[in-house]
Every structure is written in C-alpha cells, then in structure tokens.
Amino acid sequence: MAELGFEFNENWQAWCLVCRKSLERPYRTNDALCTTCMNRYRSHEFFSPIAEAELASSFVTIIPEAKDIPEVLLQYGCRDLLLRSRGRLKEPRDALKELFQAKLHVPCGQPALFEMEHLARFSGLGGTWVLDMSPYTWSGTHKDLRSWAVLSQAIEHDVQHLALWTAGNAGLSLAKLVKRWNATVPPKKRKTVYCLVDASTPLDMRMELRGPYCRVTSISTGAGAILSREQLYNVVAAMAGERIEREGHWQVTDGWDGVGIFMYSLLAQQCLTFLRDELGKTGKASAKVYIILPLGTGNILFGFIRGMERLGAERAKIVAAVPYGDHMMRPFLPPPKEERKNGPRMSRAPSLAPKMTGFYSPLSPCLWHLTEEKGFENPSPVEIIEVDRAAQLEVAARVSGPDDTKIIDAEPSALIAFGALKELAQLIRTHGKEGDLHNSVALVVNSGRGIMNAEEKAFYETGILASR
C-alpha cells in the first residue's frame, strides 16, 4: 500500500467527510476535502494560522457502496468483530471477508448491548441501554475493532510500517494485534507500529506502549497545529533508523484513512437495528433514541454519523459528550455565557479525561462543521454536552456499582458519555412536550477501559469509593 495515491478498489468509494459528498471514484490515500469544503475551512480563524502549511492531505473517508454491504451483516453482525445477536442465527455470516480479503485468523472479541434500568432511574429517561466495548480482546476498548481492520488491510497490501497518533488506547490496541501477528509469520512479514504521542503524555504511559514491534516518540503540536503527512513520514523514518519506502508506510490515523470510521459505521447500523428490535418487543418501538458518544479526536463519532445516515428515517439523535475544560471542540464553540453577577453561582471543575483533551485531530475540519448546524428537535445536528467533574464522579459510582446492578468497565474518559445522561434529560424537558422524557431512550457508548496514567488510576482508588 503506497502512502500517497493508493487505491483500495472500486468498492471503496471516496466521500468528503465534511459535506458527505461522494467524489464518485475509488478512494486514494492522497485524497483531500472536496474543493468547496477546502475553501470554506481555510477561511475559518482556527485554521488560518496553519492554512499555508497545507493541512493533513486526506479528510476523505472510504465507504463501500451501500449495495456492497450485505444486509445480513448490518442486521446480525459478524463473528468476533461486531455485535452478535442472541441466537437468531446459528452461524452468523462472516461477510467481512468480502470487504477484507486478507485471511486474518486473529480474534477480536464481542461488544455487548444491554439495558441498565438503574441508570434510567438515575437520569429520569424512559430507558437507558449501553453498548459496552470493554469486552474487546486486545486493549479492552473500541479501538480493537478499528485495529483489526487496519491490520487486515496492512496484511493484504504488504505494509510493514504502521504509524498513528494516539492518546494511548489506539497504540496499545494496534501494537498488541501486530505482536500476535508477528509471532506467526517469518521476519520479512513482520510489522512495526510507531506511536506518536503528545509531549504532555506521562512517561509511564509511554513506557507501557513501548515494547516489541512498537516504538514511541512524543511531538508537541501546539494549540491546533496539524502536521502534514510529509512531516509524519519523516518522523517515522527517523524512528526506524533506516529508509522506509513509501510503499511500506501507512499513516493510519482516522481522518486520513477512514478504515476505523467505516468499521464504526457498520457497528452503528447493526447496533441501532438490534436496539429497535429489542424496544419493539417491549412496546417501545416509537421511542426516540439518543446515542451518547464520547468525543475525542472524532473517529467513533463520525463513524456513527455515517451509520445513522444509512438508516434514514430510522436514525437516532447523536449526542457528543465532551469533558468540561479542554476538548477538541473548544476552538469551534462560542465562549460560554457570563454568569449573572447578582445570583447564585456554581463552580464547575474540569473533568479528568486525558484521552479527550487537547486540540490535535486530523478530523478538525469535520468537527468544526458539526457546530454550524443546530437544532435539538432535528435528528440531523449533533448535540454537544460538556460534562464536569461533579457529573463524572456522580455517575462513576453508579456505572461501577453497587454490586446488585450491572457493572461497566469504563475508564475516566469513557465515563464522560455516562455523565451526559442527566443533561440530556434536561434538554428533552426543555425542548420537548409532556411525555417526551418517558418516551426517550438513551444508548450510551462505553468506549472501554484501556491504558491509564497514574492520575486516572487514582480516580478509581479514591473518587469512586468516596462517591459510593
């Protein structure tokens, strides 16, 4: 797979991630935003300081044509990759082999979808379900689904060097999968992962990432800086200590490849189809569904947006949960309204969500686009909810216990999605009619529990225990 100009095949079409416009040709790794969107984002004040540097060259995702996605895949799922239905098929069809040609005999694990009634009582909503991706095998996070697809493509196209930006989990996931693959093949077939982390990443996390077939380096991007593909290629070549041919180098960060976004779009379609079926069994087929997702760099969010678009009228309203304080959306949101001088004030403390803070994302133009379309009643716009530390701690005790309820394995960053439940309920009360709250169902996406730094571990040892 060449880093620049590679074409997957005719099934994998190029789509502008911002305006959803098809480029009507197979995807290439040097694809960029459509001309209209390119001109629009360059005029935005956030991008103007670095527009001359030619931002990351690819903001186009690769999505196979709808007719090429087997309906059974969207409805029932695939073994070891997506959500398995409860025995409705004895042998779920392994349809992914039609899209990923490499015979990758490495399991991925299964997410779970189930109802949590005590969270519905906590929020006041008519129902609360959880898509739990902590059971994925390698990192215990949603990144494993993406890593499986990336490694499959790398094997198919004989790519030896895989580079990615990571806050920890994406790097850990891909490195573990690659290590498993390398143990089964001769040296010339082995692959190496290069993790690029922010300079503020704690040393203990860097050491946990570093290992056989995984190299780590830190780069300070500054506020909003986005490095070009050429810069990243030079960094990886320096880390390797040798010349890397471009045909064997792949920058796999979402927004520059789309493989992860595509996998999340499949999961979104299948997940909501399954949930609608379950709600129909309990007489709640007409319920309004809200999907709450944690928003980091944006890859899982845009995957779910693409999945919802495919469902048309059956789609759900997507809610992006972000930590109060620093987060990816900060440059694009209007400044918070000033509090009244003569009235009660409530102090809000920043959340503990290190994997969701910062300003670097190759999907920045797409995140900016989300702020342009507004309207809570309309299912199309994405609602953004900021979660402070108090809400994060309040929900942590309920997600992690007590023992007579279902327990979710979620790291502090993943808890941000659960922390948005009460605010979502308040928005429904404000914008809706009588009875809307009872007829509303939230699906919270738990991204899992992966690699954590010392502060995150202390959050569980002190914060949760104090809250219970």
| Interval 386-422: pLDDT, tens | 999 999 999 988 887 655 567 889 999 999 999 999 9
| Interval 232-256: pLDDT, tens | 888 888 888 777 777 788 888 887 7
- Under DSSP, the state recorded for 141 is B
**Mean pLDDT of all residues belonging to the chain:** 83
**Amino acid at the residue 300:** I
Partners of residue 383 on adjacent β-strands:
319
Residue 100 pLDDT > 80, yes or no?
no
Question: pLDDT tier at 384 (50, 70, 90 boundaries)?
Answer: very high
How distant is the alpha carbon of residue 404 from its chain centre? 30
Average pLDDT over residues 347-360: 85
Backbone torsions φ then ψ of 184, nearest 5 degrees: -115, 0
Residue 78 pLDDT > 90, yes or no?
no
List the chain domain ranges.
109-141+258-336+349-467
Helix axes 143-156, 169-182, angle to 10 degrees: 40
Cα separation, 51 vs 408, in Å, equals 42
Question: pLDDT tier at 361 (50, 70, 90 boundaries)?
Answer: confident
DSSP helix, strand, coil percent of the chain (3-state; round to 5): 40, 15, 45
Q: Left, alpha or beta for 188 (phi > 0: left; psi -120 to 50: alpha)? A: alpha
Which position has the token pair 């199309």? Answer: 380
Residue 146 pLDDT > 90, yes or no?
yes
Average pLDDT over residues 263-273: 89
Worst-scoring range by mean pLDDT, 86-90, 338-342, 348-352? 86-90
Worst-scoring range by mean pLDDT, 75-79, 208-212, 354-358, 430-434? 75-79
pTM value surpassing 0.85: yes
Per the model's pLDDT, the better-predicted residue between 398 and 316 turns out to be 316
Cα separation, 203 vs 191, in Å, equals 24
Q: What is the pLDDT of residue 193?
A: 96
Provide the 3-class DSSP secondary structure of residue 128.
strand
Q: Kindly list the distances between the CA atom of residue 316 and the CA atoms of 66, 240, 287, 311, 362, in Å, as whole numbers in the listed order.
A: 19, 45, 10, 9, 26
Q: What is the pLDDT of residue 450?
A: 93
Q: What is the pLDDT of residue 429?
A: 93
Tally Cβ neighbours within 10 Å of residue 312. Answer: 7
Q: What angle do CA 8, 71, 157 make, to 5 degrees?
A: 20
Residue 180 pLDDT > 80, yes or no?
yes
Q: What is the pLDDT of residue 58?
A: 65
Per the model's pLDDT, the better-predicted residue between 318 and 53 turns out to be 318
Just give the CATH number of 109-141+258-336+349-467. 3.40.50.1100
Q: What is the pLDDT of residue 466?
A: 46
Q: What is the pLDDT of residue 94?
A: 47
Residue 197 pLDDT > 50, yes or no?
yes
Most confident segment among 103-107, 208-212, 232-236, 402-406? 208-212
Percent pLDDT > 90 in the chain is 37
